[in-house]
Structure 1
């Protein structure tokens, strides 16, 4: 049932112009940023060859590309998750969904995986850009994999948070704004860590950006991966709990 719901959700996304529009705009922006980084590398290459241990093609092109993709997906994910549950509630179809012979866990995980499928497609299309550089250069595949893993874990967390806010909100616009606000807080929560006297280990640990950048460097730590899995699992469980409350009220 989970796979059936996920497939239905994935198809539903592409039946509306939202998914196509997001895909087109994201690929256009990321392609522009990618070509800009390639041009920067071409200009710097003569100077880099004279420097021992200078950053390579992967450091100058690939890492900034995935960093930019993370920021853009922070803006785009709320648009993809805002309708997941609150649209069902708004259209009075949530009661029909809850009366079906499926568990709340199946509904939540199915909708989550359907949205995650679209985000995974975006990551794969983004990864094709640096792979095109193999025609005339060399890449550090370890760092490329680390960047893909970092972005996958990040968008998995984005989707789980967006799904939970959609369970709470009564209107898609409210869900989108609420998701964006919460993601932005978690993204910037460690802004005080730049000031040595005001460092907070709690804020550093809660920061999405810090864990994302740690994995981006190629140092894949179980602590960073566990953080993303813990946050994702927590918000999925909260979404199931919220749906349990809706079912009890029917």
Structure 2
């Protein structure tokens, strides 16, 4: 007989996991977003109206990401994968903290801030190993480069791929998200009826829909606790939220 398939953990991560590495969330009362409205810096209309302002804003966010470091939650997910679990991460975050922690299967729903892309052909992407984007920086087709992020009002081109991944889950772990951002929040509807779902967030009891196990803990505490259970047992299961 062949080997049993590896258990497949699908993880949906949101701004809360990155916030523990010092990256401010959109809803935070301080940080980079505090002095800007969505309409000023994160829409296609803003880009057309004042591209220089948009570029300055994302340059500042990019430098914040470069200074940040993966936290215990990022590292715990990478360690679980290293032990032999199949771990697929679908993230709403535009930083590279999962990759820097060692995770290899990461899908960025909303793009990647450390890349630029063509403003006329989204297939043309360019890594930003240092520095940022300036007016006059162009793609191979001669068009101005823009941040490789999905702005409010734009479609989410990789959502279909994310749905396919979610449908293969043996367990869905949701970390640090309000479950208010669509279409990402609807990924919970893509998992099998018998697949357990777990939410780790300080506000889990207020955020989680019925049927989802709630861990009212920050990502840096709750995720390592869960992965220790799974590493010890060699399988995915849902422990009592109150157990150690």
- TM-score normalised by length of structure 1: 0.28
Q: Say which structure is richer in helix.
A: 1
Q: Say which structure is richer in strand.
A: 2
Larger radius of gyration: 1
- Larger RCO, structure (CA 8 Å, separation 6 or more): 1
